Amino acid sequence: MTFNFTKSVFGLAFGSLLLSSCGSSSPVLVSTPVENIDAIPLKVSDLTDSEKKNWGHLDLVTDTIPGMSVNKAYTDIIKGNKGETVIVAVLDSGMDLEHEDLVNVLWTNTKEIPGNNIDDDKNGYVDDIHGYNFLGESYNELLEMTRIVKLKIGDAAYQAKAKAALDEKYNETLKNKTYYEQILQTVTTADTAVKEKLGKGTYTKEDVAAIETQDATLLQNISMIKQVYTFAEDVPSFIKDITGGITSMTESLNYNYNVEFDGRTPVGDNPYDLEDTIYGNGNPQNRVEDESHGTHVAGIIAAQRGNGKGADGVANNVQLMSIRAVPNGDEYDKDIALGIRYAVDNGAKVINGSFGKSFSPNADWVYDAIKYAASKDVLFIHAAGNDGLDLDNPTNPNFPNDQVDNGAEIADNVITVGSITSNYGADLVSSFSNYGVINVDVFAPGSAIYSTVPGNEYDYNSGTSMAAPAVAGVAALIRSQYPKLKAAEVKKIIMQSGLTTKTSVVVAGEASKATEFSKLTKSGKMVNAYNALILASQVANGKVKL
Give residue-wise pLDDT tens across range 208-234.
Answer: 999 999 999 999 999 999 999 998 989
Residue 188, classified by CB atoms within 10 Å of its CB into exposed (0-12), middle (13-18) or buried (19+), is middle
Q: What is the mean pLDDT of the chain?
A: 92
Task: Indicate left, alpha or beta for 479 from its phi (over 0: left) and psi (-120 to 50: alpha).
Answer: alpha
> Per-residue confidence at 40, pLDDT binned at 50, 70, 90?
low
Q: What is the pLDDT of residues 460-476, one digit of tens each?
A: 999 999 999 999 999 99
- In this predicted model, what pLDDT tens digit does every residue of 113-158 receive, in sequence order? 999 999 999 999 999 999 999 999 999 999 999 999 999 999 999 9
Strand 510-516 versus strand 504-507 pairing type: antiparallel
The model's confidence at residue 38, banded by pLDDT at 50, 70 and 90, is low
- Work out the pLDDT band at 354, boundaries 50, 70, 90: very high
C-alpha 341/C-alpha 334 separation (Å) is 11
Among 524, 333, 509, 512, smallest CA distance to 421 is for: 509
Residue 7 reports pLDDT greater than 90: no
Cα dihedral 433, 439, 444, 449 sign = negative
Cα–Cα distances (Å) from 238 to 199, 234, 324, 491, in that order, read 21, 6, 31, 39
pLDDT tens digits, one per residue of 304-314: 999 999 999 99
- Which amino acid belongs to residue 469? P
**What own/partner pairs with CB < 8 Å and gap ≥ 24 does 174-177 have?**
174/253, 176/6, 176/11, 176/249, 177/246, 177/249, 177/250, 177/253
**Sequence spans of domains, the chain:** 36-139+277-540, 160-256
Return the pLDDT at 29: 66
Residue percentage of the chain with pLDDT more than 70: 92
Does domain 36-139+277-540 sit in CATH 3.60.150.10? no
Please say whether the beta carbons of 409 and 371 come within 8 A: no
